[in-house]
Structure 1
Amino acid sequence: MQTTTAPAFAERLWPSPAGWVAVPALAAMVGIVLLPLSPVAAAVGTVLGLVAAGLAAARLATRVRVADGELHAGDAHVPVALLRAPRALDADATRHELGPGLDARAHVCLRGWVRTAVRVELADPADPTPYWVVSTRRPAALVAALGGGDDRGAGAAPAA
């Protein structure tokens, strides 16, 4: 029997309000396209479009959590013991890390509607991935869950 502990950090990255507004808008477009066929087809298409778009939006809501000694970001996971120097990134620092500061070998779990993230170094000599950048709306809490209590310099982008 495998025992699991409560996650030290758990977050679901739901779409932004604008993303949820797109769900009924897409469903309405399906209904409008089907309206020339018949009003019944338009109504059925709208309902099916609403369900499909809602399920797609929910599927895009990635889970980020720290549990059982591992950081889970979407489908990827890594033992916390292999992680070093977690650093909270504000919106500007996240933009820098994902743009000019990005190493092509880095693992990125990004959701465009989340403006903040955490960068954490990977200390595994067998893995060519130098670090992870993980989107989160609660970067300070994720840093704390990863064991990085000292947040000095958080959000500051390194000089280029």
Structure 2
Amino acid sequence: MTAQTTAVRYRERLLPGFGFFGAWLLLIPATALIMMPINKGAAIPVAIGMYVLVALIFVALSPVVEVRDGTLRAGRAHISTDMIGEIEPLGSDALRDVIGPGADARNYLVVRGWIHRGVKLEITDASDATPFWIITSRKPLALAEALRTAA
């Protein structure tokens, strides 16, 4: 009897940082102030519940970047790693350039504003009109290495 295993070479959820969730703590007093005239006893529990709900929404909507079994998944899209050509890790300035002034409208973007590094992937599939995928990552060198290894 043999067991099939799927090798995950890289996996990252593009979550906001702690500072982001810390700033959203201001939602608790704001919601409590709104609730006080309606129901003083429920103001604090509703405010905390609202914060937890918002935090869960941000976590649930954060895309996953994963390299597994020769496939790159970035958000809702996926591509075979053999369709990826040049892989370029991007620092903050280079990332800002490729998603700003140097942007091509045909590029596929999985970009989160709270992550300031990423990778630029050349797509070599002739039938695909997308020239590059731009993906933000907290560990762009590890992502680039996983893609090179998977290809």
Opposite residue 107 of structure 1, the aligned amino acid is Y
3-state SS of the aligned residue for 2:88? strand
- Cα deviation code 1:27-66 (max 9, x no counterpart): 3311111111121231232132022112122123321110
What is the 5 A alignment of 1:99-110?
A: 99-110=100-111
What is the 5 A alignment of 1:65-104?
A: 65-104=66-105
TM-score, length basis structure 2: 0.90
Runs of 4+ in structure 1 deviating by more than 6 angstroms, as ranges, are none
User: 1-side partners of 2:4 and 2:28: how far apart?
Assistant: 43
Name 2:124's counterpart in structure 1: 123
Name 1:140's counterpart in structure 2: 141
User: 1-side partners of 2:84 and 2:73: how far apart?
Assistant: 12
When structure 1 is superposed on structure 2, of 137-146 and 54-63 the one drifting more is: 54-63
Identity within the alignment, %:
34
Aligned Cα root-mean-square deviation (Å): 1.7
Q: Are 1:49 and 2:37 counterparts?
A: no
Give the CA deviation at 1:11: 1.2
User: 2-side partners of 1:76 and 1:49: how far apart?
Assistant: 31
Point out where structure 2 has 5 or more consecutive residues left out of the alignment.
none
Aligned residues: 147
Give the CA deviation at 1:91: 0.5
The answer (yes or no) to whether the contact 1:4–1:68 under 8 Å persists in 2 is: no
Opposite residue 85 of structure 1, the aligned amino acid is E
The structure carrying a bigger helix percent of its residues is 2
The answer (yes or no) to whether the contact 1:27–1:53 under 8 Å persists in 2 is: no
Give the CA deviation at 1:4: 4.4
TM-score, length basis structure 1: 0.85
Point out where structure 1 has 5 or more consecutive residues left out of the alignment.
149-160
Give the CA deviation at 1:67: 0.5
